[in-house]
Amino acid sequence: MSQEFSSTAESSNTVGISFPPFHERAAQMTDLELAKVALTDQMRDLIREAFISSADLAQFEAATRKVEEALRLVLTAEPEEVSPTQRQFLDRSPFMGAMNPLAPPVTMQIIEGDTRSVEARVTFTAPYEGPPGHVHGGLIAAVFDEVLGFAQSLSGRPGMTGNLSINYRKPTPLNTELTFRGHITGIEGRKIFTVGTLHAGETLCCEATGIFVSMKADTMARLFRDRELSVLKKIVDADGGQPSAS
């Protein structure tokens, strides 16, 4: 049995959790959020196609003008608060973020069984190339951090990466569906130990181990508060040092 982790997935409460899971959504997306997802999908397509396109100069210049116009339409001169996209890790993640055009994106699901685990699928295209025809190794490490981070959050005591080790077994191909898997192997105090694999079909490309350190709820709350204060400071500075009138 598996539970797919999609852009509209709803959160289920976990007993004893130290703070809300950052890989789960508390509510269905709004129409505005869905519109952002649709725009993000188009941006991903643009990045991929522009990278490999053989269009001529005039076509690229025309496309650039249209992109500039699109930017003017969505540009917010003075945001009133931190964007909801910034609050929700599921949307802003650079690897599985529904509203982040840098995300391939990676699709995650929870596999239920004697030991709960995580399975992720992704297809990397030309912009993610390292060795000719293959995925850049740094991206593979970063996705393992995301996958094992998701896995460790199933402990109910999610934390941050303390150590991540990757063993590269085979080159990882582009334009091929890849499968990452990860699960928890043990917990010692605040340390959560995880392992993961990456396969292209039946071929084992990489293995990984990760150690995560649980965070207290007040520590996570402070990180969010500091980020929001930083955004508010930029808004005040842009207004000449005076808070915006309410």
Whether residue 167 is contained in a domain is answered as yes
pLDDT at res. 229: 58
Does residue 111 carry a pLDDT above 70?
A: yes
Judge contact between 152 and 158, C-beta under 8 A.
yes
Whether residue 124 is contained in a domain is answered as yes
Residue type, 203: T
Distance from C-alpha of 103 to C-alpha of 114, rounded to nearest angstrom: 31
What is the edge-to-edge ordering of all strands in the sheet holding 177-188?
2-5, 107-111, 117-123, 177-188, 191-200, 203-214, 159-168
Whether residue 13 is contained in a domain is answered as no
From 120, 112, 186, 109, select the one nearest 155 (Cα to Cα): 186
> Count of domains in the chain?
1
pLDDT digits (tens, 9 = 90+) for 19-68: 445 566 667 888 888 898 999 999 999 999 999 999 999 999 999 999 99
Tokens describing residue 136: 């850049």
pLDDT at res. 179: 98
Whether residue 114 is contained in a domain is answered as yes
> What domain range is 92 assigned to?
1-6+26-215
CA distances from 42 to 70, 100, 126, 132 (A): 12, 11, 16, 26
Whether residue 11 is contained in a domain is answered as no
- Do strands 159-168 and 203-214 pair parallel, antiparallel, or not at all (unpaired)? antiparallel
pLDDT at res. 238: 54
Least confident of 77-86, 128-137, 140-149, 181-190: 77-86
- Do strands 191-200 and 117-123 pair parallel, antiparallel, or not at all (unpaired)? unpaired
Whether residue 170 is contained in a domain is answered as yes
Whether residue 21 is contained in a domain is answered as no
- Domain CATH code at residue 193: 3.10.129.10
Whether residue 39 is contained in a domain is answered as yes
pLDDT digits (tens, 9 = 90+) for 136-181: 999 999 999 999 999 998 888 878 899 999 999 999 999 999 999 9
Residues 6+ apart with CB under 8 A from 67: 46
Q: What is the pTM of this model?
A: 0.75
